Amino acid sequence: MRLPPTVHGEGDPWFTAVLVRTARDKGVSGYLGDGANRWPAVHRLDAAHLFRLAVENTPAGSTLHAIADQGVPIRDIAGVIGRHLCLPVASVAPEDAAGHFTWMAAFLGLDSPASSTLTREPTGWQPTQPGLIEDLEKGHYFTRA
């Protein structure tokens, strides 16, 4: 099972939560370059459902992609974070990326859209949970200290 870089949902401590903490710490919600690079994403409940379907419906050794959002532009993610935290949203120059994003800098510059089209047919999987932007808009990432 291939999970995207962003497996999101309430209680998620990883990529999205790290971007929120970075924005708080730096006083700006940043993205690299023009921010057009895309990250695939899946809600954690949709990913869990796919794991169950995979066990029930696919042969051993199958390759499956748990992708609900094929590619969310990083600039859009930064925009929601900035709006919720009342912070400016700005491009971070590639040469400043490591200083701004620390370990996440290497990931933020990647453009890695992905698809689950070949996964949906044999499993019958249809994501039903909110996409990444909708999940961010719910606000639970912004209530943590």
Q: What is the pLDDT of residue 144?
A: 64
The answer as to whether 58 is a domain residue is yes
Which residues constitute the domain of residue 116? 6-137
Q: Which distant-in-sequence residues (6+ apart) come within 8 Å of 120 by Cβ?
A: 126
The answer as to whether 91 is a domain residue is yes
Q: What is the pLDDT of residue 27?
A: 98
* Helix, strand, coil percent values for the chain (each to nearest 5): 50, 15, 35
The answer as to whether 72 is a domain residue is yes
Q: Which residues of the chain have pLDDT under 50?
A: none
The answer as to whether 123 is a domain residue is yes
Q: What is the pLDDT of residue 73?
A: 97
The answer as to whether 144 is a domain residue is no
Q: What is the pLDDT of residue 43?
A: 98
Q: How far is CA 17 from CA 33, 56, 67, 77, 119, in A?
A: 21, 32, 19, 11, 27
The answer as to whether 1 is a domain residue is no
The answer as to whether 145 is a domain residue is no
Round the CA-based radius of gyration of the chain to a whole number and report it.
16
Q: What is the pLDDT of residue 38?
A: 96
Q: What is the pLDDT of residue 143?
A: 87
CATH of the domain at 66: 3.40.50.720
Total domains in the chain come to 1
pTM (2 d.p.): 0.94
The answer as to whether 19 is a domain residue is yes
Total residues belonging to the chain: 145
